[in-house]
Chains A and B, each alone.
Chain A
Amino acid sequence: MYAQMVKTDAARIKGLDEMDPQERVFQQRIDTGQKIEPKEWMPEAYRKTLIRQISQHAHSEIVGQLPEGNWITRAPTLERKAILLAKVQDEAGHGLYLYCAAETLGISRDQMYEQLHSGKAKYSSIFNYPTLSWADIGAIGWLVDGAAIMNQVPLQRCSYGPYARAMVRICKEESFHQRQGFDILAKMVRGTPAQKEMVQDALDRWWWPSLMMFGPSDDASVHSAQSMAWKIKQNSNDELRQKFVDQTVPQAEYLGLTVPDPDLKWNEEKGGYDFGEPDWSEFFEVIAGNGPCNAERLGARRKAWGDGTWFRDGLTAHAEKVAARRAKSVAAE
């Protein structure tokens, strides 16, 4: 997902009877659905895990602007350009909501940027794939934002107040993202054979990376179990992936496209699709920094941050000057 394979520091899940009184009260509050707020006591591992998860999520929103930004200047019409600009601006907003939520846990914005730019922090594997044609912009909205929605809707109920509230704002905006993507593709498949071919090609390239967004099966993962006990994760990776496939395949059929999975088959008994296994070695390569665009994405982030330094400094200097002038005139009165 936008935060993939988040570590929790847990070796195993503690029972209530093994916790000290403070932690027991904390866990019971979570069990009864209460929200945890910034200044309240929380286990150090909960705090650290949330910082990892929220900052990774924020980095994904920010880096996620880059593949789409690639097409802003080449959108086929002025209207499509305006729509894409608005969509990408939303993603910047999502990043900002989430950075603020993470900051309430005691990490600074600059620390998070440093972690991203040094390569220490991760962001979603999906944004390390290139956007080769306009159809890719449609595929991203439809599939990538679609997958993100699957994951973000349950996170609106997560136990940490600021994260849950950021998720509510984000979810309100995501449905526009998915629809504008689907709309691009729906238009293109009704166009020339070449346009339809572009759409099929985009689906062929984005299908498996989209399924990988949910991360490998985590049914046996202690980190996942701990995150669920803390209610900062609500569903297993496989559950969400299944939901995504079940929702998306009929949409692909509507578009007249072929999902590039020979094992894809409706399973009447389970009321869902059976489907093939993504190539997890590819996923781990991308996560390790060896995807097709990892270097390009990080390079673009570092350059943007570096090139903006003089501007940020200028605004700070201006603010300081104005404040000093005001203090002086107050003193003179």
Chain B
Amino acid sequence: MSSEWPLWEVFIRGQHGLNHRHVGSLHAPDAEMAINNARDVYTRRNEGVSIWVVRSSDIVASAPSEKGPLFEPSNSKVYRHPTFFDIPDEVGHM
């Protein structure tokens, strides 16, 4: 009788200077094996220079149903974008 290995989320830094990016998930018994498996599953063609793995159960996510209230405060603050301000052409690049 065997029980299912836990699920891990895999993040890969594609190149030096870039952020780690979520690429997918996989099952592994522990963190070390998760890194080994991630190498084989997600970097067979030089896709990365660094791997992070995180237990999926440790990730806390915002709820899709709260999308409105969560992001509304920034939606209503259009002045945060430079395009909010009209700068006359004669002022030049700003």
Say yes or no: B2 contacts A316, CB within 8 Å. yes
Contacts of B40 in A (CB 8 A): 89, 93
Given contacts A39-B61, A166-B24, A309-B2, contact A316 B29 (CB under 8 A): yes
- Taking a contact as CB atoms under 8 Å apart, the answer to whether A100 and B26 are in contact is yes
B8-50 contacts to A, CB under 8 A, are: 23-27, 29-30, 33, 40-41, 44-45
A110 / chain B contacts, CB cutoff of 8 Å:
4
Q: Which residues of A contact B27 (CB under 8 A)?
A: 109
- Cβ-neighbour of A93 out of B1, B4, B41 (below 8 A): B41
**Which chain B residue has the least Cβ–Cβ distance from A113?**
B4
A12–B72 Cα distance when bound, in Å, is: 39
Other-chain residue from A96, A173, A316 in contact with B3 (beta carbon distance below 8 A) = A316
One of A89, A165, A318 near B30 (C-beta < 8 A)? A318
Residues of chain A from 11 to 47 with CB closer than 8 A to chain B in the complex: 37, 39-41
CA distance A37 to B4 in the complex (A): 24
Contact with B along A84-106 (1 / 0, CB 8 A): 00100110010011001001000
Say if the beta carbon of B63 comes within 8 Å of chain A. yes
Q: How far is the CA of A198 from the CA of B27 in the complex (A)?
A: 41
Q: Report the Cα distance A307→B15, complex, angstroms.
A: 39
The answer to whether A40 touches B7 (Cβ under 8 A) is no
Assess the A37–B30 pair: CB atoms within 8 A.
no
> Are the CB atoms of A322 and B30 closer together than 8 Å?
yes
Taking a contact as CB atoms closer than 8 A, the residue among A93, A169, A316, A322 that contacts B5 in the complex is: A316
* Partner of A319 from B2, B30, B45, B63 at Cβ < 8 Å: B30
Residues from 39 to 98 in A contacting B, C-beta threshold 8 Å: 39-41, 86, 89-90, 93, 96-97
Complex Cα gap A173–B5 (Å): 27
Asked if B69 is at the interface of the complex by the 8 Å CB criterion, the answer is no
Residue of B24, B26, B64 with most chain A CB atoms under a 10 A cut-off: B24
Question: How many whole Å from A73's CB to the nearest CB in chain B?
Answer: 21
Secondary structure at the A interface, as helix, strand, loop or mixed, is helix
Least CB distance, B20 to chain A, in whole angstroms: 16
Complex alpha-carbon distance, A186 and B5, angstroms: 44
* A133 interface hit (Cβ, 8 Å): no
A103 to B2, CA, bound (A): 19
In the assembled complex, the Cα of A318 lies from the Cα of B28 at a distance in Å of 12
Instruction: List B contacts of A173 (CB < 8 A).
Output: 44-45
When distances are taken between beta carbons in the complex, the residues of chain B under 8 Å from A315 are: 5, 29-30, 33
Q: Are A312 and B2 in contact (CB under 8 A)?
A: yes
> Could you say which residues of chain B place their CB within 8 Å of the CB of A313?
1-2
**Chain A residues with CB under 8 A of B7:** 100, 103
Which residues from 84 to 141 on chain A have a C-beta closer than 8 Å to any C-beta of chain B? 86, 89-90, 93, 96-97, 100, 103, 108-110
Given known A-B contacts A312-B5, A315-B33, A316-B5, A39 and B26 have beta carbons under 8 A apart: no
Chain A residues within 8 Å of B63, by CB: 39
* Chain B residues with CB under 8 A of A39: 61, 63-64
Task: Report the separation of the CA atoms of residues A173 and B47 in the bound assembly, to the nearest whole angstrom.
Answer: 12
Knowing A309-B2, A312-B2, A319-B30, say if A40 contacts B44 (CB, 8 Å).
no
> Quick one: which of A37, A89, A96 contacts B26, CB cutoff 8 A?
A96
Chain A residues within an 8 Å CB radius of B41: 93, 96-97
Q: Kindly identify, within residues 183 to 242 of chain A, every residue whose CB is under 8 Å from any CB belonging to chain B.
A: none
B binding-site residues for A, Cβ under 8 Å: 1-5, 7, 23-27, 29-30, 33, 40-41, 44-45, 61, 63-64
Sampled A-B contacts (21; CB under 8 Å): A39-B63, A41-B64, A86-B44, A93-B40, A93-B41, A100-B7, A100-B24, A100-B25, A103-B7, A109-B27, A166-B24, A173-B44, A309-B2, A312-B2, A313-B2, A315-B30, A316-B2, A316-B5, A318-B29, A318-B30, A319-B30
A residues near B (Cβ < 8 Å) are: 37, 39-41, 86, 89-90, 93, 96-97, 100, 103, 108-110, 165-166, 169, 173, 309, 312-313, 315-316, 318-319, 322-323
